[in-house]
Homo-oligomer: A and B are copies of this chain.
Amino acid sequence: MTTAKRDTYTPETLLSVAVRVFNERGYDGTSMEHLSKAAGISKSSIYHHVSGKEELLRRAVSRALDGLFGILDEDHARVGSPADRLEHVVRRMVEVLISELPYVTLLLRVRGNTGTERWALERRREFDHRVAELLKAAAADGDIRDDVEVRLATRLVFGMVNSIVEWYRPDGRGMGEREVADAVVRVAFAGLRQG
């Protein structure tokens, strides 16, 4: 490194600002002017770092997807009984949602108006399918209740896990990843009712 670290934007640091604004106002509700104000530089300066709004979206959802797909490559997601692997994946999904909160939040709100958004939706479906397969295998082993369709059960679990982005805020001394993950796993597998 020949130059000292300068206080200027890189595509990466700009991304964190942009993602925050996207999540506050929605992607379509965010103009380059909004980003410019939030970043403290002019609109045209943003174009020096990235090709446009859509590149910021692409970078953001890619990061989220990488985190999620990474879970499926972990040892505990690949060896063991389907039920144990499923529990591991659910737990890790919560952890990734929280550690990559703004990026996953944006991913989960994508609608499909642009090419990037449609690509993101497709990859999400791919991930969902992989988890559904796991739940199906656990059901075949008799570890999952048989009075609820596997497909429907998968969707309810995803609903519960994904909803975390709607309320979890890291500020202050709130709950940690571990605490939320424990609660989700408990409620998803054992239910709310006092055992």
Interface residues of A (CB under 8 A from B): 24-26, 28-29, 109, 111, 113, 142-149, 152-153, 155-164, 166-167, 175, 180, 183-184, 186-195
**CB <8 Å contact, A192 and B189:** yes
Q: Give Cα A155–Cα B163 distance, bound, in whole angstroms.
A: 8
CB-defined A-B contacts under 8 Å, sample of 15: A25-B113, A26-B113, A29-B113, A145-B186, A145-B192, A145-B193, A148-B192, A152-B180, A155-B167, A156-B187, A157-B192, A159-B159, A188-B191, A189-B192, A190-B191
**CB <8 Å contact, A143 and B190:** no
- Other than the given A26-B28, A109-B109, 14 more pairs (CB < 8 A) read A29-B111, A142-B194, A144-B192, A144-B194, A148-B187, A153-B187, A155-B163, A156-B187, A159-B160, A159-B162, A162-B163, A188-B192, A190-B191, A191-B191
Q: Give Cα A159–Cα B188 distance, bound, in whole angstroms.
A: 12
Residues on the B chain within 8 Å of A157, using CB: 192
With A159-B159, A163-B158 as given contacts, are A153 and B192 in contact (CB-CB < 8 Å)?
Answer: yes
Which chain B residue lies CB-closest to A163? B159
A20 CB → nearest B CB, Å: 13
**CB <8 Å contact, A186 and B26:** no
Residues on the B chain within 8 Å of A188, using CB: 187, 191-192
